[in-house]
Each structure stands twice: as C-alpha cells, then as structure tokens.
Amino acid sequence: MDNIRQRIPVRPVRFLDTLRLHMRDAGLAYTTERTYTHWIKRFILFHDKRHPQDMGVPEVEHFLTHLSEERDCSVGTQRIALNALVYLFTRFLGVELEGLSFTQAKRPRRLPVVYSRSEITQILSHLSGPGRLRVQLLYGSGLRSAELLSLRVKDIDFGSNNIFVRAGKGNKDRTTILPQGLVADLKRQIERVRILHEEDLADGVGNVYLPDALAKKYPNAVKELAWQYLFPASQTGPCPRTGEVRRHHLHPTALSKQIRRAVKAAGIHKPARAHAFRHSFATHLLESGYDLRTIQELLGHSDISITEIYTHVVNRGSKGVLSPMDCLNHGLSALSAADNRLPRNKVTEPEPIYRIAC
C-alpha cells in the first residue's frame, strides 16, 4: 500500500510533517509529495542536517553541482531535485532563490526502450492469465504501471470502449483506448475480482481503500464491486493510514518480476521494463500514421514536445527511407545469384560496383 498517504498529525511538530501537510494543502499528487520529500531529505543530509531556514542559494548551488559533477546524474534527475528545492524555499519557506548558478548535468535524456511487434508477441507467449492481461493493457492502452495497478472495476467502460485513468501523472484524469481484443479477458478478470471480493466480505476484510475522503461521502462504496481494484493483491494487509486490514492492488514489484521473467524467457536482449510497453504503444501508433496530437492525448502528456521524442525511435523503413546499404545489397544479391549459376571451373571478374543500380 505504498501509494496511500500516511496519516500525519493535524498540528505537526516535525519539520518534514509540516512540509508534507503544506504539500497536501497545495494539492500536490502523492507521488510528487514523496519525490520532493526524498530530495529535500537528501539536501538536508548533504549539509550535515542543517535546518533549511539556515541555508539558501549557496547551499542549493553546492548540492546541485554535487549531483552533476560527483553523482553524474542525468539532466532530468537534476531538474527534479531543483524543483523540489524551489518548492521548499520559495513556496514553503518564502525565500526566493535568485541568481542560481550551478554546473548543469551533462548526461542527456536517453531514447526510450521500444519493443518491436514481434518481440511483444514473444513476450506475451511466455505469460498467461492476469499477468498476460496486465502486459496487454500496458501495450494496448499505453498505461503507466501505476495507472494500470490503480484501475478499478468501474474504470473499464465497455460501452464507450474507454479506460478511465484517475489521478494519473500530474493528478490528472484522462481516457485511453480499450482494446477490443481484450474485452473477453477483462470480463473474466472482473468475474475473478467479484469472487475474491465476496470471499473477503465473508472474512470481514472487504472494505477497499478510497481516496480523498470518498469513504465519508459514499459510505457504502467501500464494499461495492465497482470500487474494487481490477488487479488485487494476493494477500490482505493493514492500511498505513487507518490500520484496517484490507486488500489493496497488486504491488509494482510483482508486475516488474513477471515482466523480467517473460523478457528473459523470450530471449530478448533489451531492458525489461514495464514502461517500455508504453513507449512501444506510442511508437507503433506513430508508425501507423496517427498524428502526434492524438498520441499526446492518449498518453496524457502535458506538452507535445514530450511526445515528439518518439519521432526519433520510429521505424524509418515504414516512412519510405531506404538505407544506401540496402540499395547496394540488391546489386550484390544479383551478383551472388549470377555467380552461383557459373560453372565451378570458370573464373570471371566481378562486375564493377559502379554499375550496380538500386
């Protein structure tokens, strides 16, 4: 239950608890809260646990330069750390960070890992049941792993062929496509959830976690099938917020392990990442001729420049670009075929390369 906000005192005393409460009042997503807290902790520890009120621009510059020169972090990582510290000083402490000057990270953002269609077929052949369905949704709908695991039964709309993503990255809602080939499997999965939920109700642990005080607004929703997770965990556990024993969704590490085993079994020599299926979804849509704006909306990107990275990994062969080596190979293949037809005791000079035409 890592994605459930832990309870903090109404009037916190500790510095980090006060900071977390400020983030929640500001409406930051829980993932953002955890990320910012992580980097602020590292900043404080780097400066020997000095209080942020006693620090300022020089300490921020020193820390960001350390990440670049000694930790060899990427541009994106340094930017995340900077955003966390800007929030800490500007929004929380009310101190402006003017004239920041630090060493910029040099390691650029890498191109995303993309599986080909044949590789995805091979990976899926080594999966079965709900595990296979999860990967099919990652690829078929372009979901992030956290978005997939947070899906509830009510988020699957068979009537409109949509999947509703609630509180995705940036705490935004969106819709994405529901692959028609997965309708039957999804209905079977919902039936599995129904049977498991009835068993949990009989055992007294059938109340599911609801965010944003929805449990108070809809008291009966915690026991309804519609609010149950589409991919529930195999075991129940205590909620970090209330201590109540309930069944949460599958843990991300379980999904990652299944994908690693399938990629290894398929003999694919690429990193085994759940996010690679989302990259493959976008790349294959682009190869099929869909415009960037449509792909941006399906992925939930706030800026189209983020979506444009897939233009660098798209299969250029489908765009009519033929390598000059392929042109040369056409001529070489013709020469090889001609050589095979010659008598073995007859030696001829090879045809000049400048006469080879594509």
CA dist 358 and 356 (Å) reads 7
- Asked, for residue 8, whether it belongs to a domain, the answer is no
Same domain as 132, residue 46? no
- Residues designated catalytic: 144, 169, 275, 278, 301, 310
Cβ pair 173, 150 in contact under 8 A: no
Please report the pLDDT score of residue 63 as a whole number: 96
Same domain as 268, residue 156? yes
Same domain as 254, residue 115? yes
Please report the pLDDT score of residue 104 as a whole number: 87
Mean pLDDT of the chain: 86
pLDDT tens, position by position, 200-253? 999 988 889 888 778 788 888 889 999 999 999 999 888 877 778 889 999 999
- Asked, for residue 257, whether it belongs to a domain, the answer is yes
pLDDT tens, position by position, 309-357? 888 777 555 455 666 766 566 555 655 555 555 455 544 444 544 444 4
DSSP sequence for 141-198: H---HHHHHT-BGGGEETTTTEEEEPS-TTS--EEEE--GGGHHHHHHHHHHHHHHHH
The tally of domains found in the chain comes to 3
* CATH number for 164: 1.10.443.10
Residue range 104-112: average pLDDT?
Answer: 78
* CATH number for 32: 1.10.150.130
Two structure tokens written together for 21: 């409460």
Backbone angles phi, psi at 246, to 5 degrees: -155, 170
Two structure tokens written together for 258: 């299944």
Same domain as 159, residue 281? yes
Structural domain ending residue among the three candidates 92, 119, 149: 92
Same domain as 333, residue 288? no
- Asked, for residue 7, whether it belongs to a domain, the answer is no
Structural domain ending residue among the three candidates 92, 124, 155: 92
Same domain as 148, residue 26? no
Please report the pLDDT score of residue 168 as a whole number: 78
- Asked, for residue 98, whether it belongs to a domain, the answer is no
- Asked, for residue 6, whether it belongs to a domain, the answer is no
| Residue of 180, 108, 186 whose CA lies nearest to 154 | 186
pLDDT tens, position by position, 151-182? 999 999 999 999 999 887 777 889 999 999 99
Same domain as 249, residue 217? yes
Domain range enclosing 264: 111-319
- Asked, for residue 195, whether it belongs to a domain, the answer is yes
Percent of the chain, pLDDT > 90? Answer: 56
Please report the pLDDT score of residue 183 as a whole number: 95
- Asked, for residue 218, whether it belongs to a domain, the answer is yes
Same domain as 269, residue 167? yes
Count of alpha carbons within 13 angstroms of residue 204, beta-carbon side: 2
Two structure tokens written together for 1: 């239950």
Please report the pLDDT score of residue 105 as a whole number: 85
> Parallel, antiparallel, or unpaired: how do β-strands 156-157 and 162-165 relate?
antiparallel
Same domain as 192, residue 81? no
**Choice between 258 and 323, residue whose per-residue pLDDT is larger:** 258
Structural domain ending residue among the three candidates 63, 92, 121: 92
Q: What confidence category does residue 304 fall into, taking pLDDT thresholds of 50, 70 and 90?
A: confident
Neighbours of 25 (CB within 10 A): 8
pLDDT tens, position by position, 9-43? 778 889 999 999 999 888 888 888 999 999 999 99
Cβ pair 149, 232 in contact under 8 A: no
Same domain as 26, residue 51? yes
CA dist 265 and 260 (Å) reads 9
Same domain as 348, residue 291? no
The answer to whether the pTM exceeds 0.85 is no
Same domain as 340, residue 240? no
- Asked, for residue 23, whether it belongs to a domain, the answer is yes
